[in-house]
A and B are shown apart, each in its own frame.
Chain A
């Protein structure tokens, strides 16, 4: 099993996207909207908490108008740093503002079968298989539930998904598909069993939670209540806005940021009001809806800008950020996916997103492709190398070596070269062969990526939990099913 993770650490490149004044304008505008227009919280539980904290609540419309100071006061309680724990401590992910960690994308509905190429609906076995490949790749730091276990009952499906991943990987796991209280409670029960107790889980949260907001300016009741349950147990919880220019948000970028920001910070503030000091994070995957179809595009210059800008907002609120990057709109790996996934990830990393989603899916997060997963990991390795930047010190200036080689000649035989050559980046899938070698088979990245995935699927069978724990998880899921079967 893996014992290290390749995340971007202490990047030496950074990007200036919004000035301090810009951020303050966005913040002030956001508070104005939350206070004067309000945000819809369709949960009486949530409204009770907001009301107790001086929000003006309209129970019929379920809209809360929350004073700006209340939001600011609540947000100030959020811890700026914490760690996403793994079953193996060497795989822990610090969210301390010096790392960017890459996770898989989530909740695909179809998969391109690694061996037959057939596109079909996803199953629990697929969840486990994708998790094995993600576990194998050092570039993947944590799991999102990548696809849905559609052969499991809807009322316990997300629990089966968690189990499938926990069984094969010790990396941190984040769920984004639990949108009601009772499933969240059972998920926590499973996490408690693995962590060895409630306090142990709170100390080392091996599970974290992502919920969506409902643009514009609304939340989903189930997602709020599930989030509150998670926050109570000490699981890191984030709310993600997907406000899209022209459909669910203003067509202009700044306005869209305001709408998304109002949703996210109102939800995070709610969590802090209910459980002061609970670990929360900002999450965003804003985009510009396609003007011809209204489709969620998943890639494009607006996405890249949003990726960088929301990071600055999260910095301003002093909480970690999870950014939807990768997640190309392309139908197959190729030119479009390479452009979208490289640029979106570059922008998000250059502003130091703590978590980046999501490798491996095509068609706007709908179709899992093993090829794409492998190729995305390669993009990530390029970024890791790029963000190491250029170190200028004696050893790296290499004056002695330059002197000894002198004009002409080459550096291949130098000890200094041998010493440092492993620092240079080597591709797995970039084609650097001579033309005539390529010409023989005309193969390339896609074929190699798929072959690698097939090899991993055949040969790599990690086991992360012992039989006793697996039996316990099975029992917990079974009990949930008996209780909630409609």
Chain B
């Protein structure tokens, strides 16, 4: 019976049917299956298949995002159950993400967020046009492993540097890694402003994030 649920959960993610994922998760819990089992044997295998199909070019971005949505819907049911049992899904790391002040470009930043989430990171997306102080406040509050700063305008790139400075002033710089990206951002700019990592696209962002947390 558990096997059947696991197979259906996996399939619902592969098929991109978040409502089904939600219903099967509900069913599995009602049938008394442990939440951690549901995640490890039903959901994660599904996400892995979707990830592989995406990497091989068979699946497109919407496939990936719809699967991530299914996963999220399931977690809404699973998280309280895990909490009751004093369990937690191990996360790859915590990331605060946002597009810097003065800049409202959203798509790239959100894609980076989705890819990080899909790869096990806990992401706090602060949105666009995010004030320097907001980054610092949030960082002080949740002590993330990484802050990811997106900037798509040459006039707002400078705010990536300002956030890094403000982190230093708040005494947080050596505890938190900073990665930067966005259309006009280059590796040399990242080095110039003392960022710890740079990536040109969302997959690259995941790789950099993994490297940064393992340091």
The residue on A at minimum CB distance from B154 is A148
Cβ of B29 within 8 Å of any chain A Cβ, yes or no, is: no
Of the candidates A150, A248, A251, A291, which one forms a contact with B154 in the assembled complex, judged by CB atoms under 8 Å apart? Answer: A150
Cβ of A294 within 8 Å of any chain B Cβ, yes or no, is: yes
Let me know if B183 and A293 touch, CB within 8 A. Answer: no
Contacts A291-B61, A292-B57; A248 near B107 (Cβ below 8 A): yes
Cβ of B45 within 8 Å of any chain A Cβ, yes or no, is: no
Measured CA separation A220–B189 after assembly (Å): 27
Measured CA separation A291–B62 after assembly (Å): 8
What sequence of 0s and 1s flags, for each residue 220-259 of chain A, a beta carbon within 8 Å of any chain B beta carbon? 1000000000000000000000000011100100000000
Q: Size band of the A side of the interface?
A: 20 to 34
Cβ of B111 within 8 Å of any chain A Cβ, yes or no, is: yes
B residues less than 8 Å from A366 (CB atoms): 183-184
The residue on B at minimum CB distance from A154 is B155
Contacts A246-B62, A293-B61, A366-B183; A157 near B155 (Cβ below 8 A): yes
Let me know if A293 and B201 touch, CB within 8 A. Answer: yes
Contacts A109-B183, A214-B104; A292 near B158 (Cβ below 8 A): no
A61 to chain B, nearest CB (A): 14
Contacts A109-B183, A220-B104, A366-B184; A246 near B61 (Cβ below 8 A): yes
Q: Size band of the B side of the interface?
A: 10 to 19
Measured CA separation A247–B106 after assembly (Å): 10
A residues less than 8 Å from B57 (CB atoms): 292
Measured CA separation A27–B155 after assembly (Å): 36
Let me know if A294 and B154 touch, CB within 8 A. Answer: no
A residues less than 8 Å from B156 (CB atoms): 154
Measured CA separation A294–B54 after assembly (Å): 13
Measured CA separation A366–B154 after assembly (Å): 11
Measured CA separation A293–B62 after assembly (Å): 10
A residues less than 8 Å from B144 (CB atoms): none
Which residues from 191 to 205 on chain B have a C-beta closer than 8 Å to any C-beta of chain A? Answer: 201-202
Which residues from 145 to 175 on chain B have a C-beta closer than 8 Å to any C-beta of chain A? Answer: 154-156, 158
Of the candidates A121, A157, A291, which one forms a contact with B60 in the assembled complex, judged by CB atoms under 8 Å apart? Answer: A291
A352 to chain B, nearest CB (A): 31
Given A110-B186, A293-B202, 6 extra CB contacts under 8 A: A109-B183, A110-B184, A121-B186, A154-B156, A292-B60, A294-B61
21 contacts between A and B (CB under 8 A): A107-B154, A110-B184, A121-B186, A121-B189, A148-B155, A154-B154, A154-B156, A157-B154, A157-B155, A214-B104, A220-B104, A247-B107, A248-B107, A292-B60, A292-B61, A293-B201, A294-B61, A294-B107, A294-B111, A294-B202, A366-B183
